[in-house]
Structure 1
Amino acid sequence: MSAPFIVAAAQSVSVAGNLRKNVDRHLIFLREAAAGNARFVVFPELSLTGYERALAKELAIHGDDSRLVPLRDECVRNGLTAVVGAPLRYDDVVRIGALTFTPDGKVSTYTKQYLHPGEDLVFAPGTGGKPISVDGTTIALAICADTGHPEHAEQAATSGSSLYAAGALITANGYVADTALLEGYAMQHRFAVLMANHGGETGGWSPIGKSAFWAEDGRRVIAAKGAGEALVMASRSGAGWNGHVVTLD
């Protein structure tokens, strides 16, 4: 009998503009995920810096930033694939990005294709990125507003992805509508959906938490009860998906 395939949404709380402290906190999440035998973890949008638009140009990094080495090493040590959020610098422009660390020590980038109103004052639209593979499961990535565009989910389905993983920033006002879209994509495209939301205030916004996972039939398998730091874990076995939430102090 094969081992269950376990994925996790890291509902973290970011320290504004402090990449080193956020890396340390990410490591705690990764170790907790590894202890639960997770193979894949996704963090919220801009998790390494917080959603700090006013600071983004100053905080923007490259994927090979030496301060990220502990994350790379932790993924290698535990056989994890982790997707973390950060503002990424490309010559004279900054994009909202996600960095994927893999067990072989490599890092790849995804950049947010669709921007919220006002984000274009700081960020340039991105170009997305290729799906990733974890234990034979193809995973398409998304960052927040990407999920508001049905063509983005359609492209993920066309790529053969069986999991759609999004790092987000969702407040109480947007949660019902945004998660209804994710549920709909799961049912329409027959893929699972994993969403990691911020667990606390960031950039003047008050995210609601409630990170969640939906199965391929649109059933919400598990979700955090609200804000605060938590690890939302979903496990696939022969009997289908089940999940649980680990609360972090």
Structure 2
Amino acid sequence: MPAFTIAAAQTASVAGDLPANIERHLAFMRTAAEQGVQLLVFAELSLTGYEPSLASELAIAPGDSVLAPLREMARELRMTAVVGMPIRLPSGSQVLIGALVMAADGSLAVYSKQHLHPGEELAFAPGTGGAALVWGDDRVALAVCADFAHASHPRAAAALGATVYAAGVLIGESGYAADTALLQGYAAEHAMVVLMANHGGPSGGWQCAGRSAIWGEDGCLIAAAQGVGEVLVIARREAGRWTGQCVEI
């Protein structure tokens, strides 16, 4: 199997401060490029923080020029970055929880969260998902937080040939054990690498647990952040074998 390097970006978002969060994302992208990362996945709503009360004010069209520095950096570094942002699609005025794919070739794709957490319907509408990302024989299926709480979501990804299931999330300390048990279980059940990018600091009133992680196709842990803070969690496949490391930013 060809070499493949993926990473979870565990950032500490500044509530509602898009310029500051873009700068941190760019720093993460540069460090990830130094590590040879090809796919970098950020947490749910990473660019604004998990701030439902601000979502309507902050929501943008996916192709908004404010995100141009991220798209340009992805193209310059030949890296694909998946960033979290509240979005409005041209077809409607509803606010969706988006995972925007800034591809290495300069293109843009959109994944929108399909399954809302209770209470999120007050600020967001359910989305429609999005297509898997393709690297040679690898297919990467995206998820945003509560999506993975529905077993049908990773099952559908596996049925469509996903080899990697990548979720941007917001998970607090109280839910961490149960949520990561689910993700680890999906890795083993569906023989997929599972990546979880969590927030590394408080967001939206939640004390996030950090501890972003990546599990192998057998469910064994490849790499995980030790706690909160800003960390890059990396998994590399070489000669068919996965190895991991963490890099503090």
Matched with 1:245 is 246
Could you state the TM-score of these two structures normalised by the residue count of structure 2? 0.97
Matched with 1:94 is 95
**Aligned partners of 1:239 and 1:73: how far apart in 2?**
31
Matched with 1:168 is 169
**Aligned partners of 1:3 and 1:127: how far apart in 2?**
31
Alpha-carbon distance change, 136 to 72 in structure 1, aligned in 2, over 3 angstroms = farther
Matched with 2:81 is 82
1:123 aligns with 2:124: yes
Query: How far apart are residue 239 of structure 1 and its match?
Result: 5.2
**Aligned partners of 2:21 and 2:240: how far apart in 1?**
36
**Aligned partners of 2:134 and 2:103: how far apart in 1?**
10
- 3-state SS of 2:95 partner: strand
**Aligned partners of 1:41 and 1:106: how far apart in 2?**
15
Asked whether the equivalents of residues 39 and 134 of structure 1 are also in contact (C-alpha less than 8 Å), the reply is no
Query: How far apart are residue 102 of structure 1 and its match?
Result: 0.7
AA at the equivalent of 1:8: A
**Aligned partners of 1:112 and 1:64: how far apart in 2?**
18
Alignment of 1:4-153 (within 5 A): 4-90=3-89, 91-153=92-154
Could you state the TM-score of these two structures normalised by the residue count of structure 1? 0.97
Question: What whole-Å deviation, never above 9, does each CA across 1:24-55 have from its counterpart, x for those lacking one?
Answer: 11000000000000100000000010000100
What is the aligned residue count?
247
Matched with 1:224 is 225
Out of 147-156 and 133-142, give the one that drifted further.
133-142
Matched with 2:237 is 236
Alpha-carbon distance change, 3 to 159 in structure 1, aligned in 2, over 3 angstroms = closer
Query: How far apart are residue 80 of structure 1 and its match?
Result: 0.4
**Aligned partners of 2:124 and 2:62: how far apart in 1?**
17
Out of 108-117 and 87-96, give the one that drifted further.
87-96
**Aligned partners of 1:46 and 1:8: how far apart in 2?**
17
**Aligned partners of 1:241 and 1:74: how far apart in 2?**
27
Identity of aligned residues (%): 52
- 3-state SS of 2:129 partner: coil
Matched with 1:155 is 156
**Aligned partners of 2:179 and 2:134: how far apart in 1?**
26
Matched with 2:197 is 196
**Aligned partners of 1:67 and 1:48: how far apart in 2?**
11
Asked whether the equivalents of residues 198 and 212 of structure 2 are also in contact (C-alpha less than 8 Å), the reply is yes
Unaligned runs of 5+ in 1: none
Query: How far apart are residue 65 of structure 1 and its match?
Result: 1.0
**Aligned partners of 2:181 and 2:146: how far apart in 1?**
14
